[in-house]
Amino acid sequence: MTVPENAWVFDTGPVRSFAINGWLGVLRFLADGRPVYIPDSVERELGNATEHVPAARAVLDADWIQVYRSTDMRFVEAFAQYADRLVAGGKNRGECGVLAMGQLHKCEMVLDDAAPRRIAEEKGLRVTATVPLLCEAIRAKKLTTVMVEALADDLLESRYFLPFGPGGFRQHVLVNGLLDYEDLA
């Protein structure tokens, strides 16, 4: 299966958390026809979560999110290399699939966890995270700052980790240079 370079490949955390909070449609809107994928390792993590997190089923049922399955040896080898670095106690397999896809297909990965992001940056792979993705949506005038602040607070309320606390989106993005004051107007 060939994955276009303009595709987004999501890790479990971001898509699950958007689904839990009823914001999955926002990701579809932001994709705006851009292909969206999850590797089969993320599909398995979401499938395992549906018993305790029923909203995870929404990701699996979304017709706009494609599941990537591959037996290509380049993918399998890349996955194994990432697994050697990241898998602990059976966790982080989703990130390994996302990284392997990014390496093989040069697509943009959406990863929020620090360790896989560092690995992607070390390898020169295209990677973003939830906050920069939302900042780009504000700059492109697809979402308002008020909407993104509500979305971020909902994610935090459901115990999703973001690099700031409730009500802290605006200050975080300004202090870290992710948005300018003009962007927030």
Predicted confidence at residue 67, as pLDDT, reads 97
Cβ pair 91, 49 in contact under 8 A? no
Of the three residues 128, 143, 176, the one that is the final residue of a domain is 128
Do residues 116 and 162 both lie within one domain? no
Q: For position 28, which CATH number holds?
A: 3.40.50.1010
Give the pLDDT of the chain (185 residues) as one tens digit per residue: 788 899 999 999 999 999 999 999 999 999 998 999 999 999 999 999 998 989 999 999 999 999 999 989 999 999 999 999 998 888 889 999 999 999 999 999 999 999 999 999 999 999 999 999 999 999 999 999 999 999 999 999 988 999 999 999 999 999 999 988 887 87
Answer yes or no: do 42 and 102 share one domain.
yes
Cα–Cα–Cα angle for 10, 165, 118, nearest 5°?
40
Query: Are residues 45 and 27 part of one domain?
Result: yes
Q: Which domain holds residue 163?
A: 131-184
Distance CA 37, CA 70 (A): 13
pLDDT (0 to 100) of residue 180: 87
Residues 6+ apart with CB under 8 A from 2: 105
Taking only the tens place, the pLDDT of each residue in 49-68 is 998 989 999 999 999 999 99
Domain final residue pick, 105, 128, 151? 128
In a domain, 3, yes or no: no
pLDDT at 88: 84
88-100 residue pLDDT tens: 888 889 999 999 9
Domain membership of residue 2 (yes or no) is no
pLDDT at residue number 7: 96
Q: Are residues 47 and 98 both part of a single domain?
A: yes
What are the strands, taking DSSP E only, across the chain? 8-10, 36-39, 65-68, 108-110, 127-128
Q: What pLDDT score was predicted for residue 1?
A: 73
Those residues with Cβ within 8 angstroms of residue 180's Cβ, 6 or more apart along the chain or in another chain? 174
Q: Are residues 102 and 90 in the same domain?
A: yes
What whole-number distance in Å separates Cα of residue 84 and Cα of residue 73?
16
Does 1 fall in a domain?
no
Residue 95 sits in the same domain as residue 143: no
Q: Do 47 and 109 fall within a single domain?
A: yes
pLDDT for position 12? 95
For the chain, what is the domain count?
2
Q: Is residue 63 domain-shared with residue 114, that is, in the same domain?
A: yes
